[in-house]
Structure 1
């Protein structure tokens, strides 16, 4: 791959990651003794993140698979599957939501378990639960594995350890505004994990993952994500890939699994959903941003793709009161 091709794919990944957001992030610093068992209930639409700062732990997933974790290891459970963190297999499990934690802030707490006989924790865990909003890369999220095991000190994730260390330092110091700092650092951690997976997902090079790695499609995708409101034609998109209209259309369909214009429409509706529900933009402004000549035309397209009207979609995502992502 030439330098120019790599830069183009890199620009596309940058564009996609900028739209990713974490919402409702809650953190726990868990000090555990030599024997512990913690249960984390399934939370669809959320992601779990655990980092082992000190000691070891066994991760037991709801499908029965187990993984041994040591200091420096992290796990990212993308689709919110239920799981347990244990000192040893067979250890009695306590629901994390039923344990009393010391509040360190509105969204941060400290939990001590099994440390009565040994004040110094045998294992120190940093745990987070969050809504994983992928914005325009929603299709990429569907391809991500349910569980990602991460060696924070490995070559795939350079720079991750200092960020995690900074997060732990912020929790320990509890300085003014530390919860906001944690939320921003969590965005960076999640983006680094997604980037590392995209770069190395050779075993699952299909769909959008393959397109991200294919300079013959990356140019068109970059143009689409930068200008989603433009009235694109297949011929115009093919020009960005320096190929013919028919070759581009066929390759796009085979690689991503839908036509280019269908992808444009679904991209617009994903962005519309994000702008309506998260950024609370007026419907008329969203319609204009996405190139629709009228609010009515936009509303018809939105309902055709999402099954709901823009107004009802916004209302469905608006909580009556601020909610904690832990039940």
Structure 2
């Protein structure tokens, strides 16, 4: 958190992280192909950018994106006419369906935040402005709740009507998704998943198709491949070990499934990373 002076510009574009920007005082503008004219931000407004958001910038002006910022500088909260609290959530699997189902940009104006989120935002702003003992640590902990409350806001305001976060509002689907996400190596079948959820195969398939766009087993396979792509980035992790951790008895079967998802073998994927 802190203040900014002059012709300031913020470029927090990321392919792997969710960035949030809370404007604590002053005003600013978000420049993105999504908004024409640029989105005006006032004190108390919150905006989040997910990895699949288009190129965007925050600027001091609705008319200019000043790439030459030699006359801009960071300042203390008290000194700067504009003050921000910014943070990021680094994602290990940014291309996962969990994140891709969310809006690329999420804007919550102060007047629309609702009581609980609004109170949290105001508490964060007060801590940022106070510069008291432990303020940084307090802000860090308070910001942990921002994302959860933003997801609640999006669901309750029907900004999202499909995807994992919506599906998990269904208690029985939450059970199934929890099993898949936490234990992807288990040899799950439609029968075993339906047994845990207390649903028929027909009902389970209809719910998954409507909310997630795939069958339970297709979703399981996609989730395993997303996790596999993350594990393959780890040094010292072999293809054989990744296959085992994803619940495959043979490297060959794992490699075929991986190639269907990523268009290349696990070995080639690793080489492309390294």
TM-score class, shorter-chain normalisation, is 0.7 to 0.9
Equivalence for 1:214? 170
8 Å Cα contact 1:160/1:192 also seen in 2: no
Pair 251,88 (structure 1): closer, same or farther in 2 beyond 3 Å: closer
Pair 196,247 (structure 1): closer, same or farther in 2 beyond 3 Å: closer
Q: 2:73 aligns with which of 109, 112, 122?
A: 112
8 Å Cα contact 2:46/2:109 also seen in 1: yes
Alignment of 1:44-63 (within 5 A): 47-63=18-34
Equivalence for 1:226? 182
Matched, 1:83 2:83: no
Secondary structure of 2:96's match? Answer: helix
Pair 223,167 (structure 1): closer, same or farther in 2 beyond 3 Å: farther
Matched, 1:66 2:38: yes
Deviation string for 1:205-237 (max 9, x for gaps)? 224343121223222111211221111111111
Deviation for aligned residue 1:72: 2.8
Matched, 1:235 2:165: no
Structure 1: distance between partners of 2:146 and 2:236: 24
Equivalence for 2:81? 122
Secondary structure of 1:94's match? Answer: coil
**TM-score w.r.t. structure 2 length?**
0.76
Structure 1: distance between partners of 2:174 and 2:211: 12
Consecutive unaligned residues in structure 2, runs of 5 or more: none
8 Å Cα contact 1:30/1:127 also seen in 2: no
8 Å Cα contact 2:187/2:247 also seen in 1: yes
Equivalence for 1:141? 99
**TM-score w.r.t. structure 1 length?**
0.65
8 Å Cα contact 1:211/1:255 also seen in 2: yes
| Count of residues in correspondence between the two structures | 266
Q: 1:155 aligns with which of 112, 115, 118?
A: 115
Structure 1: distance between partners of 2:228 and 2:235: 10
Structure 2: distance between partners of 1:139 and 1:164: 33
Alignment of 1:1-327 (within 5 A): 29=2, 31-33=4-6, 36=7, 38=9, 40=11, 47-63=18-34, 64-78=36-50, 79-90=52-63, 92-95=64-67, 98-99=68-69, 112=73, 120-127=79-86, 132-133=90-91, 135=93, 138-150=96-108, 154-155=114-115, 157=117, 159=120, 188=144, 191-192=147-148, 195-197=151-153, 199-200=155-156, 202-277=158-233, 281-318=237-274
8 Å Cα contact 1:37/1:84 also seen in 2: no
Flag the structure with more relative contact order, 1 or 2, with Cα contacts below 8 A and sequence separation at least 6. Answer: 1
Structure 2: distance between partners of 1:132 and 1:308: 26
Pair 80,193 (structure 1): closer, same or farther in 2 beyond 3 Å: farther
Deviation for aligned residue 1:268: 0.4
